[in-house]
């Protein structure tokens, strides 16, 4: 049975969604090991996933990120490069985002 490009893309999307769901459903972090959080200008705590959706998608879609597999150091460098290109992230938000990216899209 031959599948077209659209069929293959649908399979890839389903696989990526499954991997993301599994990554997000892991055990709760041990006490005292929570990832850092940031606050927006209204005092609301922003998590890595929210930062990713709000800030990174201003310039590109998440598909590029979802296909990546990088170490923490590589994500740190990638986030710093995006900030140098204009991404609106504080230093704390950069750290939060890098932790999220590593946990979700790490090797």
Helix axes 5-24, 91-105, angle to 10 degrees: 110
Give the tens place of pLDDT for each residue, 27-50.
Answer: 555 554 454 445 554 444 468 999
Give the tens place of pLDDT for each residue, 62-77.
Answer: 898 889 899 999 999 9
- Mean pLDDT for the stretch of residues 6-14: 63
Structural domains in the chain, CATH included, are 37-105 (1.10.760.10)
What percent of the chain is helix, strand and coil (3-state, nearest 5)?
60, 5, 35
Report how far residue 59's alpha carbon sits from residue 89's, in angstroms, rounded to the nearest whole number: 13
């Amino acid at each position: 049975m031959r599948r077209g490009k659209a069929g293959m893309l649908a399979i890839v999307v389903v696989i990526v969604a499954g991997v993301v769901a599994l990554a997000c459903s892991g055990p709760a972090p041990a006490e005292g090991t929570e990832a850092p959080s940031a606050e927006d200008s209204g005092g609301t705590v922003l998590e890595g996933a929210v930062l990713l959706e709000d800030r990174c998608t201003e310039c590109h879609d998440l598909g590029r990120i979802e296909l990546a597999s990088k170490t923490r150091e590589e994500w740190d460098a990638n986030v710093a490069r995006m900030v140098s290109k204009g991404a609106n992230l504080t230093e704390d938000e950069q750290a939060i985002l890098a932790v999220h990216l590593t946990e979700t899209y790490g090797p």
